[in-house]
Homo-oligomer: A and B are copies of this chain.
Amino acid sequence: MADVLEIAINAKAASKEALTLSENIKNLALTKLAEQIEKNSDKIFSANKLDLQQANNLPISMYNRLKLDENKLRDMIQGIKDISLLDNPINKIIWQKQIAQGIVLKKVSCPIGVIAVIFESRPDVITQITSLALKSSNAVILKGGSEALNTNQTIFNIIIDTFNSIENFPKNMVNLLYSRDDIQKLLNADEYIDLIIPRGSNSLVKYIKSNTKIPVLGHADGVCHIYVDEFADLKKAVDIIIDSKCQYPAACNSVETVLIHKSLKDFFKPELEKVLKDNCVSVITNPETWKKEYSDKILSVKIVDNLQEAINHINNYGSGHTDCIITENSDNAEKFMTYVDSAGVYQNISTRFADGFRYGFGAEVGISTNKTHARGPVGLEGLTIYKYKLYGNGDIVDDFIKGNRKFLK
């Protein structure tokens, strides 16, 4: 196999060729890919079986993510088709204007270049990211977990065969790596890779953020909060807390800490505590856990004096992911939603809604807690940037400096 730097260089070259990929060719490739994944499903399941047989030491959550079944494969295929139906995000004129007589400026969307995605276990990520990258005309380097080697390689081969069957399709648009040792080499290839998206454990994301000059899109922790305001509808509070904690406790957008206004102490005990117990959620009231992401049916609870203390707590101990206020008081809601410095700020709704599909993006690259480029659930738009096209007719700056010509307002 080619080494990582060579793969990165080839991916960069592919990304230049991809700059003129037409919408039709991209959608044709995706439609064919969906067909070929379906046609080769037996091969994929066999490979997955092989990986599962060797996965004796995997934690059960990773084993479940690794395991493909008919439902997951159907979702994979549908996901590719859905992305093919989205609007082409490339070559869109974001705006244009005449900056002076005869000079037209256009701000036009374009691909970022080469995206590296580092993920664990889930082989369905390969088709998802490949589809998103192709739709946005980016080349992609996928680094999967070694536990999914056979499944990933089988899916990857189908992708390559499908794309190679299309005339004039750029080579090396999609690349696959397996080895843990390759990660550091990827992180060093800042000359060729434009963006890294880590989709894995907190520690993996933190390691990547600390060890590369390449921009990283993603989130490490998902420490989400729900603040039950003194003006809360307590029925809504219970429903939302249970959904946010129990609907899928391992998700990054599940709630970890509930803050309760001091006037509602009686609501906490016994009412909320009982419902939590009925739902098998254990409660912890220890300040040492305030930065902790449980990813489990465990919940930190803290009584706060007022809205400001809740806001301060969230900004100090949270991860800037998604935080919710339960209140019928719209002034308090707006204050909370303005001062809490998170990607998602919610009123009276479960934190589990923080998701690109639920937001209506049609596809999700991941969830970002960055303060630049893209924040919150990231759709196709997060894989694009823009360039400025300027059309003149022999125009020179000197004429404007000397006052012979003027810019339009």
Closest beta carbon of chain B to A103's beta carbon, Å:
6
Question: A344 contacts the other chain (Cβ, under 8 Å)?
Answer: yes
- Residues of chain B with a CB closer than 8 A to A350's CB: 392, 395-397
Question: A391 contacts the other chain (Cβ, under 8 Å)?
Answer: yes
Please tell me if the beta carbons of B392 and A348 are within 8 angstroms of each other in the complex: yes
Segment 333-356 of A: residues with Cβ below 8 Å from B: 333, 337-339, 341-350, 352-354
- Residues of chain B with a CB closer than 8 A to A215's CB: 215, 370-373
- Residues of chain B with a CB closer than 8 A to A59's CB: none
Question: A133 contacts the other chain (Cβ, under 8 Å)?
Answer: no
Please tell me if the beta carbons of A359 and B339 are within 8 angstroms of each other in the complex: no
- Residue-wise interface mask of A (353-375) relative to B, using a CB-CB cutoff of 8 A (1 in contact, 0 not): 11000111000000000111101
Choose among B338, B377, B389 the residue that contacts A20 (Cβ–Cβ < 8 A).
B338
Please tell me if the beta carbons of B339 and A372 are within 8 angstroms of each other in the complex: no
Q: List 22 A-B contacts (CB under 8 A).
A: A16-B315, A19-B338, A19-B339, A195-B371, A215-B372, A233-B394, A239-B396, A240-B396, A242-B396, A342-B387, A343-B388, A347-B390, A347-B392, A349-B392, A349-B393, A349-B394, A353-B392, A354-B388, A358-B397, A372-B385, A375-B386, A376-B386
- Residues of chain B with a CB closer than 8 A to A195's CB: 371-372
Given A339-B16, A394-B348, A407-B360, A372 and B372 contact (CB-CB distance below 8 Å): yes
- Residues of chain B with a CB closer than 8 A to A371's CB: 112-113, 194-195, 215, 385
In the A-B complex, the 4 residue pairs with the closest CB atoms:
A349-B392, A243-B396, A236-B394, A352-B397
- Residues of chain B with a CB closer than 8 A to A407's CB: 358, 360
Please tell me if the beta carbons of B373 and A372 are within 8 angstroms of each other in the complex: yes
By beta carbon, the residue of chain B nearest A312 is: B16
Please tell me if the beta carbons of A349 and B243 are within 8 angstroms of each other in the complex: no
By beta carbon, the residue of chain B nearest A15 is: B341
Question: A398 contacts the other chain (Cβ, under 8 Å)?
Answer: yes
- Residues of chain B with a CB closer than 8 A to A217's CB: 372
By beta carbon, the residue of chain B nearest A211 is: B213
Helix, strand, loop or mixed for chain A's interface? mixed
A347 to B247, CA, bound (A): 55
Contacts A113-B371, A350-B395, A375-B385 aside, 20 further interface pairs with beta carbons under 8 A come to A20-B339, A112-B371, A195-B372, A210-B213, A215-B373, A236-B394, A240-B396, A242-B396, A247-B396, A333-B391, A344-B388, A345-B388, A346-B389, A346-B390, A349-B395, A353-B395, A358-B397, A358-B407, A360-B407, A372-B385
Question: A275 contacts the other chain (Cβ, under 8 Å)?
Answer: no
A345 to B401, CA, bound (A): 22
A408 to B337, CA, bound (A): 24
- Residue-wise interface mask of A (202-222) relative to B, using a CB-CB cutoff of 8 A (1 in contact, 0 not): 000000011001010100000
By beta carbon, the residue of chain B nearest A97 is: B360
Please tell me if the beta carbons of B247 and A401 are within 8 angstroms of each other in the complex: yes
Segment 1-53 of A: residues with Cβ below 8 Å from B: 16, 19-20
Segment 300-328 of A: residues with Cβ below 8 Å from B: 315
Question: A277 contacts the other chain (Cβ, under 8 Å)?
Answer: no
Question: A235 contacts the other chain (Cβ, under 8 Å)?
Answer: yes
- Residue-wise interface mask of A (240-262) relative to B, using a CB-CB cutoff of 8 A (1 in contact, 0 not): 10110001000000000000000
Question: A99 contacts the other chain (Cβ, under 8 Å)?
Answer: yes
By beta carbon, the residue of chain B nearest A382 is: B372
Closest beta carbon of chain B to A335's beta carbon, Å:
8
A114 to B112, CA, bound (A): 26
- Residues of chain B with a CB closer than 8 A to A247's CB: 396-398, 401
Closest beta carbon of chain B to A223's beta carbon, Å:
15
- Residues of chain B with a CB closer than 8 A to A264's CB: none
Question: A73 contacts the other chain (Cβ, under 8 Å)?
Answer: no
- Residues of chain B with a CB closer than 8 A to A183's CB: none
Question: A283 contacts the other chain (Cβ, under 8 Å)?
Answer: no
- Residues of chain B with a CB closer than 8 A to A344's CB: 387-390
